Amino acid sequence: MAVRFEWRTSLCAADFPAAAYETLRLRVADHTPFNTLAWMAASEQALSAGQNLQVLLGWQDNALVFCLPLVASVERFGRLPFRVLHHLGYPLADRLALLTTMDAAATRKALIEIRRQLPHALLQLNEVSEPTGEENVLAHWLSRSSTAERRLSCRVPVHLISNADHQEVSGDPRYKLRRARKRIAACGAIVRRITPDSTTMGPLLQAISDVEAVSWKGDEGVGIFSDERHRQWMDHAFTALAGQGLVRVVVLELGGRCISYRLGLLEQGRLYDYNLAFLPQYADLGSGRVLLEEWIRWGLDEHWRWIDASRVSLENSSHQLHERMTGQLEHWRWSFYSWRPSGIALGLALRLWQQFKPAWQQCKARRAAAAVVKPAPVATSAAKAAEPTTTIMESENASPSHSQR
C-alpha cells in the first residue's frame, strides 16, 4: 500500500496529529522518553534563530507510519558554510528510535522527499538506537548518498535489575560504597527519592540547576542548564514529562539543602540516568555511587527492569554504572551526504580526512612519546611569565562532551 508524505512546520500546532504520533511511537519497540511529543515540543520551543523545523509525516490510509522532525541550519566546516539537517532534540536527546513502520521502498522514497523539500549538504542523525532484532531502515539510505557514514557514538552500560541486587555488591565497588555511606552518615546527609509532578518539577529543577551551576559542569559550561536556551528547554521538557509521571530524582540533602542529585527518566520499566551533579565542597563524599545504588534499590521496590546510563563517552568513560553493568547498548551516528555540489565536497573532505587521520595520530603519538623521553628544560620564573598561552580547537564545530550529563 502506497505511503503518502506530508510536511508540517511545527509539532506544537493545534492541528498536529498528536494521537497518531503517540500510536506510532508506542508501536516502535525501542522508543525512549526522548521520542515523546513532550520532549520534542520543548526542543522545538528552544530552537534558536537560524534554525528551521520541518516535520516529515508518512501516512498509510489513516495510520501514521513515519515521523521525522528535522532542524535545518547552517554550520561551518573549515570556515565554509554548509546546510545541515539534524534530528530535532540534538544534542541533548540521548537516545532516539527512528519512528517508522515503513518498508524499505517507502523509506527510500522518504529520503528523496527530504532532499526535494530540504536541499542540504549533510543529513546527520545522532544517538540512534538499533531496532531489536531488525535491520535499521536507515541502511537503505547509504547507497543513495554521495558519501555515507555509520559511526558508533557510544556503548552505554546497562544494568539488569535482578534478585541478586538484594545482596550487597561484591568486590571493590562494595568497599567504595561502604566508605561513601560512612562519610555521608558522618556529616548527617540523607538520601531522598522524589517523583515530581508538573507543579513540583519547577522548584526541583531550580534546586538541582543551582547545584550544577557551581559544579565543574557549570564552570566549564557543559551542563544541561548551561545557558538560558538550554534552561528553557529543560524546564519545558521535564515539567511536561513530570506531568506524565516519567521523571525520577534521587537527591542527597544536608540540612534540607540539595548537595548532590541524579536526574532520570523512567519508561517501559527502564530508567535512563540522564544527569547528575554535586557541590564541589562535598566531592569527597562519593555521593554519586550511593545515589546510583539508590536507583537500583528503588527499581527493586517498584519492579523496574533496567538502569541505563543515558549516554557515555565512547572512550575512557567514567560512568559509575560500568562497575555494575550487565550489558551494553550501542548508539549510532548516521551521516548522509547529498549529491549536491556542497554535499559531494563535504563528503570528499571527510574521506580525505579518514585517509590522513591515522598518519596524523601516529605522528602525534610519536611527539608525545618523545616529549616524555626528553622533557623540556625547566624554565625560569621570568621566562614562564613571558610565555604566551595558546588554546587549539580541533574544529570550529567542536562541542563539549556530554558523556555523563
Residue 117 domain flag: yes
Average pLDDT over every residue of 371-390: 51
Residues 56 and 85 in one domain: yes
Average pLDDT over every residue of 129-152: 88
Residues 11 and 104 in one domain: yes
pTM for the whole structure: 0.87
Residues 135 and 168 in one domain: no
Question: What is the residue whose three cell numbers read 556542497?
Answer: 342
Residues 104 and 180 in one domain: no
Domain range for 280: 162-304
Residues 54 and 140 in one domain: yes
pLDDT of residue 360: 85
Residues 142 and 87 in one domain: yes
Question: Do 70 and 85 contact (CB within 8 A), yes or no?
Answer: yes
Q: What does each C-alpha distance from 178 to 10, 183, 184, 186, 286 come to in angstroms?
A: 50, 9, 10, 12, 10
CATH number, domain of 54, equals 3.40.630
pLDDT tens string 242-288: 999 999 999 999 999 999 999 999 999 999 999 999 999 999 999 99
Q: How many domains is the chain partitioned into structurally? A: 2
Q: Give yes or no for residue 398 having a pLDDT over 70.
A: no
Residues 133 and 186 in one domain: no
37-45 vs 18-27: helix crossing angle, rounded to 10: 120
pLDDT of residue 375: 56
Question: Do 113 and 320 contact (CB within 8 A), yes or no?
Answer: no
Residues 177 and 232 in one domain: yes
Question: Do 334 and 124 contact (CB within 8 A), yes or no?
Answer: yes
Q: Which cell goes with 201?
A: 518539577
| Cα 180 from Cα 183, distance rounded (Å) | 5
Residue 368 domain flag: no
Residue 153: CB atoms within 10 A of its CB come to: 19
Q: Which residues make Cβ contacts (< 8 Å) with residue 13, sequence separation at least 6?
A: none
Alpha helix stretches (DSSP H) within 215-286: 216-220, 228-243
Question: Do 53 and 70 contact (CB within 8 A), yes or no?
Answer: yes
For 366, the 3-state DSSP assignment is: helix
